[in-house]
Amino acid sequence: MIKLVNVSKSFSRFKVIKSVSLTIDKGEVHGIIGASGAGKSTLLRLVNLLEIPDEGEVRVNGQNLTNLRSKELRQARKSIGMIFQHFNLVANKTVYENVAVSLELANFPKKERKDRVIECLQFVGLEDLMKQYPAQLSGGQKQRVAIARALANNPQVLLCDEPTSSLDPNISAEILGVLENINKVLGVTIVIVSHEMEVIKSICNRVTVMANGEIYDTVLTEPIGIHHIDKSPSYFIEQLAKVGEMDDA
């Protein structure tokens, strides 16, 4: 489904991605984990050419994106959804309009747009908030809108850049539940970048570990389920205790 072949990327002489090759199969929930600065976000952004690789090839769904002309690339991007850590919704558009815009860009038939937007919002459980503006929503709700927007054009791939990193653990679990559904019900291939091990362990069935712009390892895993992400207050207390231990050491 996604195939990166010897891709490299530098930002002003600093090599962020060093000749990385990675294949992600159809239907996978693929996690990319690593410390900050390991290049995991850049690797993800190379998949839809949000970052253009200096070298190498990016193939999605059999199409070599690196060879496409800008119009063809825009077309290809419409079947690759993406969500972000900070949601990136248009603040001056309602929930409905935020989802509808992705259909407008894809020239989705006008008459069916409304039904499609509502269908997507129902999928993420937000059909009642259609007329609200993002400023009136919680973080978790905003991410759901972003997911609905990314799903509207029936993408084959969904790229998730730290999708839960600015959310509380219990809200994170809800969002991961939605992503899990997208994979299982709609059969969408998902790639998740995260620095949180819990997130990766909960729903990924293959994990790539990155360090210093290279792939350290890619392993098959058994997703342990989103319930792993503890919703109780004790979770916070444990986390705080861990931070305390680290300070002591």
125-164 burial by CB neighbour count: b if 16+ within 10 A, else e? Answer: ebbebbeebbeebebbbbbbbbbbbbbbbebbbbbbbbbb
Tell me the closest approach of the beta carbon of residue 105 to another protein, in angstroms. Answer: 5
Does position 74 interact with another protein (CB under 8 A)? The reply is yes
Closest CA to 53 of 3, 103, 106: 3
Does position 67 interact with another protein (CB under 8 A)? The reply is no
**Which region among 27-35, 88-96, 118-126, 237-245 touches another protein (by CB under 8 A)?**
88-96
Q: Is the dihedral of CA 53, 54, 58, 63 positive or negative?
A: positive
Which are the contacts of 136, defined by CB distance < 8 A and separation ≥ 6?
A: none
Give the C-alpha separation, 150 to 28, whole Å: 18
Does position 12 interact with another protein (CB under 8 A)? The reply is no
Does position 90 interact with another protein (CB under 8 A)? The reply is yes
Binding residue (CB under 8 A) for another protein from 86, 114, 227, 242? 86
What amino acid is encoded at 73 in this protein?
A: L
Does position 122 interact with another protein (CB under 8 A)? The reply is no
Tell me the closest approach of the beta carbon of residue 131 to another protein, in angstroms. Answer: 11
Does position 5 interact with another protein (CB under 8 A)? The reply is no
Q: Coil, strand, or helix at residue 39?
A: coil
Does position 101 interact with another protein (CB under 8 A)? The reply is yes
Cβ burial of 232 (10 Å; 0-12, 13-18, 19+) is exposed
CA distances from 114 to 108, 198, 221 (A): 10, 37, 39
Does position 82 interact with another protein (CB under 8 A)? The reply is yes
**Which region among 5-13, 82-90, 120-128, 234-242 touches another protein (by CB under 8 A)?**
82-90
Site for another protein in 27-56 (CB under 8 A): 48, 50
**Could you list the residues that contact another protein (CB under 8 A)?**
48, 50, 71, 73-78, 80-82, 84, 86-93, 101-102, 104-106, 133, 135, 146, 149, 159
